[in-house]
Structure 1
Amino acid sequence: MIETSDENTPFTPVTVLGLGPMGRALAAAFLKARHPVTVWNRTPGKAGDLLDRGAVAADSVQDAVEAGEVIIACLIDYDAVRATLEPSQAGWENRRLVNLTSGEPAQARQMSLWASSHGIDYLDGAILTPAPAIGTPSATVLFSGARDVYESAQETMAAMGGTAVHLGDEPGRAAAYEVALLDIFATSVNGIVHAFALASAEGIEPERFATFATQIGGLLPEMITRFARQIQTGRYPGDRSTIASAASGITHIINTATIHGIDVGMLTAAKGIIDQAVGDGYGPEGLARLTTVLHRAGRP
């Protein structure tokens, strides 16, 4: 857990590049912690009330870089970060670039190499909480990159609130965590809306269905912890559920959804992995075993 700046904390000039909802939330948090804040956005007029609260709008990216000691990039993607910073490679002495843009691990590594080639101290980060949580105890931010760069910016970044975790020197690690966690979210949302579509097609009222669906969701935290332990040890006991039983269950879902004309693309892909696992002799084992099957299926 980290605390926001108090009266004994030096107030570092911060620049925020990008004023989408998250960028504005970041700028507001740094202002609240009494850091001097400069903001820049490609499209003018996105600062909202930040200027009334003390932020300064830079006329150019170069001016924005020169105004801050910690430069926060929070743009649409890594290509936008590169395109924004390419014309402004001077004036980076004693400054750190903290990239909080969502992206892929390979992009983070490439961005780190680009920054290093231009003499820019670089830290990559992933924000795991929505914009309203920034500056509150519920915020969670992951960082990866050189430890000395992280430590030099750590006190300033405390203004984001909540929990900050440095995952190591490998610059793509924070993005790797983010995409893996987004994998859970994306496939879970797909499962939820697909289940509601199937339930509705069978005449089940959404609110009544939700009562039971939330109980299914409550099983997931323990399952995630158990799967992690099994994957770590390489042992996949089928004492609770087996891959063979999953093959039967997913077949019932696909057949029922198909009758109602509901798309089964994701379910069919999942069944393909399950069938492969059964064919490999893993039918009596637990569902966490599917992780190793997926690894092998993804290799060329």
Structure 2
Amino acid sequence: MAEIQQTSVTVLGLGAMGKALASAFLKTGRPTTVWNRTPGKDTDLVAAGAVGIAAVDEAVRAGEVIVVVLLDHASVHSALDPVAEQLSGKQVINLTSTAPEEARELARWAERHGIDYLDGGIMAVPPMIGQPGASILYSGSRKVFDDNRELLESAAAADYFGDDAGLASTWDFALLSNMYAMFAGFLHGAALVRSTGAAASAFAERATAWVTAMAQLMPEYGRIIDSGDYTTEVQHLAFHKAALDAIVRASRDAGVALDVVGPIKNLIDRQVADGHGALAFERTFEELR
């Protein structure tokens, strides 16, 4: 039986994430070409079987599927605009962190140049790529997603959100917002307990258990928000205002800046001042909208 020929892939961008993705592709035996604007970052990949090419136009010609992992939206255009003609008829999967409207703009740019475009949001750090727990969210061309499902899943679990190219990054950034707020809260708490001489590592042990327990409330929060019914018998916004007022006083006394808890207090204060003090904390969703 003849051996099935795997689609060749070119990875543009060899930062930590680009290297991790290229390595995952190589482990499947897939022909992999790599390019980076700054030379010298492909040594390990070439030793593992990749083809390193210094010119972006040659790198693009070498791959049937082009995976883009660059710094930002501007760097994607900087790399791809000069080779748009060579990209015509190819499939481009952009895994650069781009805002939803930037992803939509890139999809329109790709369509004008005859390029089939899929956008992705990476929910992992580089060491997680190719390991359980890594996830990449996709939106844009369903054909590109379906054609390359095996390639995509060699790097991470692959979820498709729809043909609107901005959907993946919307979900990506929403989840990242959740993460950053959580870690910022941890850092504030660590600063607070450090004022008593306690170690941040000791706080981390308790914070992990506490946050894990509180995370179980998120599905109920989602249900309440979708229902639009914020009535509650316990722990209404006025209750939370008193709690945040006390946390702010404690933080000031400990010399801890209010950059994290201050905006949360302002959100609650505003709602209470507008007459929503008897409603549930989940009503803050409406304030953010």
Task: Calculate the TM-score normalised by the size of structure 2.
Answer: 0.94
1:129 to 105, 111, 124: 124
Give the whole-Å Cα distance in 2 for the aligned partners of 1:64 and 1:110: 24
Task: Say whether 1:217 aligns with 2:211.
Answer: yes
Residues 175-254 of structure 1 mapped to structure 2, 5 A cutoff:
175-254=169-248
Please name the residue that 2:167 is paired with.
173
2:254 to 239, 250, 260: 260
SS of the counterpart of 2:149? helix
2:103 to 81, 95, 108: 108
Residues 185 and 260, structure 2, Cα contact 8 Å, conserved in 1: no
1:85 to 80, 100, 103: 80
Task: Calculate the TM-score normalised by the size of structure 1.
Answer: 0.90
1:160-185, Cα deviation, whole Å (9 max, x unpaired): 14x21100011111111111111111
2:57 to 51, 57, 62: 62
SS of the counterpart of 1:46? coil
Residues 167 and 174, structure 1, Cα contact 8 Å, conserved in 2: yes
Residues 96 and 153, structure 1, Cα contact 8 Å, conserved in 2: no
Distance 1:128 1:9, change over 3 A: farther
SS of the counterpart of 1:91? helix
Task: Name which structure has the greater RCO, CA cutoff 8 Å, separation 6+.
Answer: 1
1:149-205, Cα deviation, whole Å (9 max, x unpaired): 3222223323214x2110001111111111111111111111111111111113434
Give the Å deviation of 1:30. 0.7
Code of the aligned partner of 2:99: E
CA RMSD in angstroms comes to 1.8
Distance 1:42 1:218, change over 3 A: same
Give the whole-Å Cα distance in 2 for the aligned partners of 1:91 and 1:50: 24
Residues 141 and 163, structure 2, Cα contact 8 Å, conserved in 1: yes
Q: Which runs of 5+ in 2 are unaligned?
A: none
1:144 to 139, 147, 168: 139
168-177 or 208-217, larger mean C-alpha shift: 208-217
1:156 to 151, 157, 167: 151
Distance 1:281 1:84, change over 3 A: same
Give the Å deviation of 1:61. 0.9
SS of the counterpart of 1:204? coil
Code of the aligned partner of 1:108: A
Please name the residue that 1:4 is paired with.
none
2:283 to 282, 285, 289: 289
More helix by share: 2
Give the Å deviation of 1:53. 1.3
Give the whole-Å Cα distance in 2 for the aligned partners of 1:132 and 1:240: 43
Give the whole-Å Cα distance in 2 for the aligned partners of 1:114 and 1:53: 34
SS of the counterpart of 1:218? helix
Give the whole-Å Cα distance in 1 for the aligned partners of 2:184 and 2:131: 30
Residues 188 and 260, structure 2, Cα contact 8 Å, conserved in 1: no
SS of the counterpart of 2:14? coil
Number of aligned residue pairs: 288
Give the whole-Å Cα distance in 2 for the aligned partners of 1:8 and 1:104: 41
1:61-106, Cα deviation, whole Å (9 max, x unpaired): 1111111111000011111011011111122244100000112111
Runs of 4+ in 1 over 6 A off after TM superposition: none
Give the whole-Å Cα distance in 2 for the aligned partners of 1:9 and 1:175: 34
